[in-house]
Structure 1
Amino acid sequence: MANYSTNGSYVDCYTTEIPGQISFPEFVLAFYTTPLFKLERFILKWTVSKPSTDAQAKQLADGATEKFAAWHVEGRGENEILMCDFQGRTRSWFMIVPLNAADGSRTRLYFGSAVVPVRSSKTAEPSLGFVFQILLRFHKIYSVLLLYSAKSRMMSRSSR
């Protein structure tokens, strides 16, 4: 994501912590299979013909595929993944960091986004576009809701 923070892209990053140690695949799978994200998957299926399943989300989480719904893997590490959308305009970044605190082990979850500018046909300057500016507030709220939905999903699974 650091590359995008220096080229005029919009970049954000949200974090939260969860009790205990979770694996990176658990985080990715939980994120892409929350009811909230399934709504986005439904919309992608019908608007841009990019269907996806929970089984495909698991394959992505496990490193068995490089594509999921409208995204492909741009980069992957042991505890992080950077996804790029099919138009090349947006990125989604996930990372975990295991923590050892005095009150027990925890895992910090990261979720970030980047929106890459395009050159304006009028000025030839990089621009994020009018639509993005209008949707920015929604994007920020939605990003936080997605992260907390994944956290909630993992916490409910661990309490079973």
Structure 2
Amino acid sequence: MAETVYCADTAATETLGRNLGALCREGDVFLLNGDLGTGKTCLVTAASTALGVDPQEVTSPTFSLMNVYHGKTLNIKHFDLYRINWSEELEDIGFSEYAGGDGVTFIEWAELFPDYMPEENLELKFTRKGEGREVELLPHGRRYEELARALLAPKGREG
């Protein structure tokens, strides 16, 4: 079940992110794929805000590789794999120990290391489409099929 959501502008991407954040549960994993500037960090910021994180705290972990944000009830682990060149580097940063498990995990540029991603996840593929962005939802596992359906429900389509 792959579904696509069109985000006409940044506000629509933020709405999608807030809706996603409201549905997050312990152990959720989200793979965010797409070109630079397509809205991946924008979505993580909005989802983290919905989980109780100050939006000023959320930054792209391009140079730090992983940031941890403390929400009201869940911690958010935010990876950016853009600057990682070899799978050994993933091991060096303890990726497999942090991805999944406690809290919620967002992984930008997950497509660079597909064999290292948790098997069950919701992949979000960002593509430029006209002035906006198309976000394809690719659920892997029952939990993520349910989450994608909830995200696409009429309430989740605001914006």
TM-score by length of 1: 0.39
Larger Rg: 1
Could you say which structure has the higher strand fraction? 1
